[in-house]
Structures are given as C-alpha cells and as structure tokens.
Structure 1
C-alpha cells in the first residue's frame, strides 16, 4: 500500500496544488505511507489566492453571497453595518478550518472522489470548530464504493505530539466503523433537494454492513520546517489503508492570516 493507492497522484497544473506544491512520496519510520508537500516560494501568491477562494467556497454558498450583498447594500444605504458573520475571527478556528479546506480540496483533486457537502457552511457558531469528520469524500462510482475520511491539523510550530493526535483521530473514526458524519452529509443532501445523491450516500451504511464499502484514511499536518521529520519519526498505526501528508510553510500563520484578510474582497 502506498500513498497513490489511497490519496491518488499529486495534482498536476493548472490545479493550484499542482502549480504551487511539490510532492515526494515515501514511508515513515514505522512504514506508514507519507507524502511530503513543499510550497514553491515563487508561487506563494497564487497559492494564497486559491486558498482564499476555497475558504469562501467552504464557508458560504454562491446564493448566500448574493443575498448577503443585497442585504449589505440595503443596510449601508440606511447608514447601518451588516452584523452577519460568515467567517471565523478566532485565529485558532481559522487555522483549523484552513487546514481542513486544503485537505478537502487536495483529496478531490488527487482522487476520483467528490465532496458533496461543504460542511463548514452549516456551522452554527463560525468561531468554534465543528465536531465530526474533517473531510468525507465519496467515490460512489468505484467498485467497491469508497469513502475517504480526512483529518487535518495545523500547528504554527510542529511537535511530535500533534502527529499522535492526528493518527488518534483517524483511528477513532476507524474504530467507529461507519464515519460519524455520514448521516450528516446525507441529510444535508436531502435538505437541498439532491435526493438521488443523498440516497447513494445514505446507502453506504448498508454497503458497510455487507462488506462492500472501502474506507480510506488520510491525515494532513500543516506546520513549519519540522513537520516532515515529526511525521516520519512518529506516525504509526495498524490501519492498513491510511496515509499521512505533511505540508511545510515558512510562515504558516501569515499564510492563513493573509487568506482570511482577503475573503471580504470576494463577497
């Protein structure tokens, strides 16, 4: 088992991850598939621009953007500010959401899976992290049907302990058998009128019971220069279909701050 068999190949240009990130596949000290991601400093502006748009996409629908603009313009004509908050201002939540969004977009680009629901749009408190699986991506056309379960961690300074937390979260999901957020995804699809897709997602419960559902697990650590070495030396698990990725950024906090500072310009 290697990273490509779980995550798929590294995205190619013109996808932003293909333009801005390089990838090297290896195995950790404890034989876990590990994809090492590095950012090209010359492409950092393009990467931030892409991530900023993804941050918007994951937090607010295009229809909500239009409604917000109409309401905001009406309030401004009356001399009032719009109190609606669509994006977190809490820096810890921003960083966690940012890593989750990157993992989701990367998985969709590298695999045949799709992301049927942007779960952050349904967060009742945008300044708090959402419970449940960070990423659920579905390859409903594969045989067997496949779900990729993703967990993302962001640390300004990497420590070995965070690698253990990353693996522990994936193992907890694995021990629970069917992903905890599966019904949440199905319900949101039914609520939005996508009954056919919602039915296919809900039927994954039955496929699991029949031994006809493949679950793959992917972890992502975004941090500073020590992220790769900490994953290499620490990551270990008995889950057979599990891979870990690590992304090193020279100044991770600044990248996230730049993205969230720019979201207002896109809505």
Structure 2
C-alpha cells in the first residue's frame, strides 16, 4: 500500500465533530523513497493483480513493463488526475473502514480518457447486520489548487442528495464478479432497488493532492457544509508536485 506514514507528516486540523480535516505533507528528503513506493502501487490500480501475476509468469520483466506502460495515461493532466485518484483510494483503504470496492482505473475505456462518475466509492458491509455504509470521494490534483476546484468537488459530493450516483453504484456492482464479492454486490443492488441509502449512511471525502498548502482553503470549504453526511477533508501536499507525478509514472512504466 501507499504507507503514507513513511514519507509524510500528518496534522489533524481542528473542526466540528463528527467531521475531520487531515493534512499530509511529504518529506522532501524522502522524495526518492516515496516515488518508489508509489511506483510499486500503481500497476495494481491499472491491471488486476491476477493479470499481473499471469504476465510475470509468462513474460520477461521488460515485456511486462511495456504492457504496464501502455495502460498508463500519456498527458500531464491525466497523469495528475489518475495519481490523485490512486492516492485517494489508497488513503481510504489504509485509513478508513471502507475497504471494500474496486480499483476503478482498471476499467478505463482508454488510457488517455477521463472516467465519468464518482471518483471513488468505498464500502463497509456489517458482517452481523448486513448494513451497507459507504464513502463517496472526490479527488482533485493541482500544483496550485484554486478555490473554484475545491468548490467543484464539494458540489459533486453533495450531488444526488449527498448519495453516490446510480451510474457509479451500478458500475461497481457490475464489476464485482468474484464469488466472494456476492454479498457486497447484492447489498449494492438492494440499496439501489429499495432506495434505502440515506445521507447518514454516506461519508464524503474531499481529497486534494497539491503542491501548495491548502489547509485554509479546505477548512473554509468544510466550515460551509450543512448537509447530513460525515465529512473527511484530506490535503496531501507534495511541494514538487509536477516532478513527483513525472517521476512516479516514469518509475511505474520502467
């Protein structure tokens, strides 16, 4: 996983319960280590692990690298957005109870196209009661994050009455094809058919991957939220934002 604690310092910013605001700052002295960690993480987000294992068993390492490289985006803008989404997804899996779901980027129509729908959905299924709760995340990546971008993410999170979009819910359910995933797939289908999800069942995450300090910007936006879902705002600052993105993709494709 991304092991943020190994290359970032973490500060919890004060805000009204039950909401939270966390700021992560990358340690510049650990730049190479953080790039190596992310390069190891990236392939699993663009190719299923079973497919990667099959490729490594049959092909030489440089051939596998070429196939991985062909799945990664080419434009700087898409690289920025995709890396932000990977960072957000791994943060959710490492730091929250919403560990179930899919790696959405595995299902891109084309490596140089953006995906539609919610950036990330994470799920928690109570093993005793069968109750489904979920996290809906919006990830934004900018070297310098403007307030308009944060406002756009806030608008997306509050869309559909605070709930995930039906398209995004169906997208996940249709790709939970492993027999072990049947309980979650059924729970997602039932939530849609019975319209049983409420804002209180949904946690929102606004994840900002930036080169500048967004503490005040995120805090200001969070303070204006008046809906019924718990909010987690997360800022990840990598001072050399563009250099970091280029280095991660170069290492992942090598």
What's the TM-score once normalised by structure 1's chain length? 0.79
Match of 1:220 among 207, 214, 217: 207
CA separation of 1:211/1:100 partners in 2, compared to 1, >3 Å: closer, same or farther? closer
SS of the aligned residue for 2:89 comes to helix
Which residue of structure 1 aligns with residue 41 of structure 2? Answer: 54
CA separation of 1:227/1:63 partners in 2, compared to 1, >3 Å: closer, same or farther? same
Q: How far apart are the structure 2 equivalents of 1:176 and 1:137? A: 13
Contact 2:143 2:241 in 1 (8 A): yes
Which residue of structure 1 aligns with residue 112 of structure 2? Answer: 127
What's the TM-score once normalised by structure 2's chain length? 0.82
| Corresponding position: 1:252 with 2:241 | yes
SS of the aligned residue for 2:9 comes to strand
| Corresponding position: 1:113 with 2:98 | yes
The RMSD of aligned alpha carbons is 3.1
Contact 1:222 1:247 in 2 (8 A): yes
CA separation of 1:172/1:115 partners in 2, compared to 1, >3 Å: closer, same or farther? same
Select between 218-227 and 31-40 the one with higher mean Cα deviation: 31-40
| Corresponding position: 1:36 with 2:39 | no
Unaligned runs of 5+ in 1: 1-13
How far apart are 1:42 and its partner, in Å? Answer: 2.9
Count of residues paired in the alignment: 244
Contact 1:58 1:101 in 2 (8 A): yes
SS of the aligned residue for 2:90 comes to helix
Which residue of structure 2 aligns with residue 164 of structure 1? Answer: 151
| 4+ runs deviating over 6 angstroms | 70-73, 81-84
Select between 234-243 and 133-142 the one with higher mean Cα deviation: 234-243
